[in-house]
Amino acid sequence: MPLSSPSNLRRRHLIAAAAAAIAVPAVRAQAWPARPITLIAPYPPGGGVDAVARLIGERLAPRLGQAVNVDNKPGAGATLGGTALARSAPDGYTLMLGSVVDYAIAPHVHKALPFDAQKDFVPIVEAGFGTVGLIVHAELPAKSVAELIALAKAKPGELSYASSGVGGLQHLNAEMFKQMAGIDLVHVPYKGTAQLLPDLIAGRIPLAIDSLPAHLPHLRSGKTRALAVASRARSPILPDVPTMIESGLPGYETATNYTLYAPARTPAEVVALLNREANAVLKMPEVVDKLTSMGIVVTGGSTEAAVARTSAEVAKWAAVIRKGNLQLG
């Protein structure tokens, strides 16, 4: 049969088309990135999220061969940054370092939220989590979680706790503690940790369940005490402090969170490449050392693990809000 016959031509076209289809993902992965990448930090410069975003962005840039520029978009409980990500083109050139916890809680606080994190974001990797501690004023009589619970039961509605505001993680940390311990505490909201610290140190407010970094200098000076940490395992920066689970509250676990996101529908091969490179960055000794010094435990792992974490956090905080009949919006 001649090489130019219609059947041979059709066969050659089919083979060429199949080869092209197989080659498309590789070509797209090789072509990306062809220009600088924007990494949204949905909090102000100088904070923990900003610091982690810049640390990861600086190490990712040479591995990707393009600049990674951090763009701070603070406001509305990190939802302004989340909105910007959701509205970005799903091409891998706009990413965000945000918190699974923020976006699990946000729908309960912002009734007209313009995005759905589970539908509009794809988690690339969980970079790490910040350890949360149960911090009390140095002169509070309770020396353990059990003693604090006993004190609260003896004085129902008399002990108060500080938070960074209604609907924030500190607020819900304490609400979950109240529910699991069966105690009554009074909520005193502040604008943030910087604002509540002076009152905690002075004893005007007896306790807070907060991320550790800002509290470490005062814990070390003895102005405050940590009764427990809320991670599954003890913290390397406070190795003598028991976990909440060890302290008699099985299942009590909470943490701040640092997760790298892309918009939904970002090409799978770009997400896979970012996951691989971000995991490589998270294994660098200087990155691990820096994050550990900030009270952050490095996690890393698969995109699937990050997706599972999102679903778990959404379910957990929805249950706390429902059980406490909390009006957050």
Domain architecture of the chain: domains with CATH: 30-127+261-323 (3.40.190.150), 131-229 (3.40.190.10)
Alpha helices (runs of H) in 285-324, residue ranges in sequence order: 285-293, 303-323
Between residues 96 and 237, the one the model is more confident about: 96
User: Looking at this protein, which amino acid is placed at residue 271?
Assistant: V
Instruction: Determine contact, residues 133/200, Cβ cutoff 8 Å.
Output: no
Return the DSSP state at 180.
H
Q: Widest CA span of the chain, in angstroms?
A: 97
Rounded CA separation 260/126 (Å):
6
pLDDT tens digits, 36-45: 999 999 988 8
With cut-offs at 50, 70 and 90, classify the pLDDT of residue 1: very low
User: How many other C-beta atoms lie within 10 A of the C-beta of residue 108?
Assistant: 20
Residue 156: phi and psi, rounded to 5, are -60, 130
3-state secondary structure of 130: strand
Beta bridge partners of 187: 161
Residue 309, C-beta contacts closer than 8 angstroms, at least 6 positions apart: 100, 123, 126, 257, 259
3-state secondary structure of 128: strand
Residue 26: phi and psi, rounded to 5, are -65, -40
Q: Residue 23 pLDDT more than 50?
A: no
Place of tokens 């050392």: 289
Do the strands 121-137 and 296-298 form a parallel or antiparallel pair, or are they unpaired? antiparallel
Return the DSSP state at 323.
H
pLDDT tens digits, 260-280: 999 999 999 999 999 999 999
By C-alpha distance, which of 104, 131, 92 is closest to 236? 131
Q: Residue 10 pLDDT more than 80?
A: no
User: How many other C-beta atoms lie within 10 A of the C-beta of residue 146?
Assistant: 14
Average predicted confidence (pLDDT) for the chain? 90
Q: Residue 7 pLDDT more than 70?
A: no
Structure tokens at 277: 């490179």
**Number of C-alpha atoms within 13 angstroms, CB side, residue 171?**
20
pLDDT tens digits, 108-159: 888 889 999 999 999 999 999 999 999 999 999 999 999 999 999 999 999 9
